[in-house]
Structure 1
């Protein structure tokens, strides 16, 4: 057992004997009634930070057997629509947000590498993970729970709960284990098609199962406050402002898209640039009609690196001590 895990369990012991022990016990009992086999004696977070997002476990169903067709054969998707491009070299695939909005997780395998392609609409966070952790290849589903408005995933091997934004197991047997994030980018379908005309594009297993291409979160990214969020909002920048978070070896770099629209930026060896032509998936009722919010590219030494496009409130709650570089910041 790692020192960190030992501290986690010790900390939980203090929680259980503290003044809120009845509340914690009641919460665990409630989750157990839902059928969870999770080891709730191990946690990194306070249970009162976890809330229901509405749907039950896998009520937002992950895709376990993804189907792809060549980009040049895809119909019904507008050129401006956002897709997750992964990998960024070699056999690039496109995972349209019109599909991920309704499924949130794709358990896939590329050239023998098991990956989880994830998207949390409430955080506008699209992140690709290596599914191998702690000596196991994991398969992920949706818990139906949120923490800080962010998707909580679970692995089917141990039913540990994982924070999508950080890729860390926050509750359960694997608590403290972190998934490796893999470089990916949000690009327009048009750009993907131009660069990879034969590239595989994810399509729904059953096109009639959901209203693919519609946005159930209409006007969300222009709202005043995030949905199902109890935390502190960031100072000096709108909660729903789009930002890019670059995970570095030390403190993350967080820059607003408004700042990058002014000019490219170089910080600590990282190059950040803004690109137009990508529609918001969280604006209008139909994704293809969404306003142009663009996207970013982040490189170091000419190579694409892990980054995450998200909202300012998300960056602030997960990295509370890191300043967001905005348009008015030199």
Structure 2
């Protein structure tokens, strides 16, 4: 990652380089990303749309290296959905290259730094700290509108794996388990959303994963994998699914458990892993769209900040 980062930086002019590397501070990390279009909330760095073909090739190689093939599919699918929005009523607020790349700290093999890639419905922070042997891909926000669409004769559902994994997890519960997992309060959107770092509830809700059968625990693991297995080499998924981790992991839902009705909400809350999925009203289209986030309570932003 460091080699690819420096290779990308070498393709930039001096003025471009000065506008893409920022200090590794909490403010720089937390303030300049959102689930809103980049025309609504300022992003740091350079937009892919502003890069030459050579620069963009180097940037894409770096971005893809942080991800597994599953993760690359997630990223490309959500960016393509933004391109569809641009071409079908959304206009210039959207687009597959209206995503920004920046660095917090200079890429190094000896000190901490973060690659931030952020736009409308996709953001990740790939954090590297060689001295602490810490690597992470969180926070990682994913969202999509429309949920399903047809392009060039093909039907595309960019967040099918995330949605289907969580739905299978809830569908696998018995009626009594589903009742135990239901939250007593209504949740209308993501709780630990962009700009809400550290907003994890002090009181845990739902049903303990360790109380479920091995088959049902496997469904929880699969739901976690739909997110954490996007990361290339961070080890986060493995940490989330140990017996000790699952013994302190809860699954919970609010409003509706079908994950298709507007207002449906589900979360996975472990000692480190935090995943939320919310069904929202459409913005450009009348149909619903999804907001979802994967966080790591220990290693968000590489564990460099306290919230």
TM-score, structure 1 as length reference: 0.29
Structure with the largest fraction of helix: 2
TM-score, structure 2 as length reference: 0.31
Structure with the largest fraction of strand: 1
